Amino acid sequence: MDSGDGDAQRAVSRVWGEMEAELRRVAQRLTENRDEQDDLLQEALVELWRTDPTRYDLRRRNERRFLRRVLVNRMWKVWKAERARSYQEG
C-alpha cells in the first residue's frame, strides 16, 4: 500500500464519519426495512471509495454538497432497481 492509498483510506473514514448519520436518514426515508437500509449505506460507502474524497475540499460547501448528492444518487438508483426487481418477481 502506498501513501496515496493511506490518504484515501483516511479521507474515506473521515468523510464517512461526517456523512453517515445524514445518509442513514436518507436510507430510512427510502425504506423501513433495516437490512435494506444497511444495503443502501453499504452502496454509498462503496461509491465513496470509488469517488475518492481526496479530490474534494469538503470545507467548501459546494464540494461537500456535490459529494453528498453523488452518494444519495447511488442509494436512490439501488433502491429503484430493487423495487423494479421486486415488482417483476411479484
Give 24-77 pLDDT, tens digit per residue. 999 999 999 999 999 999 999 999 999 999 998 889 999 999 999 999 999 999
What is the predicted pLDDT for the residue at 6? 86
Please report where in the chains the cell 474515506 appears, as a residue. 12
What is the predicted pLDDT for the residue at 85? 86
Is residue 1 pLDDT above 50, yes or no? no
Q: Is 2 left (phi over 0), alpha (psi -120 to 50) or beta?
A: beta
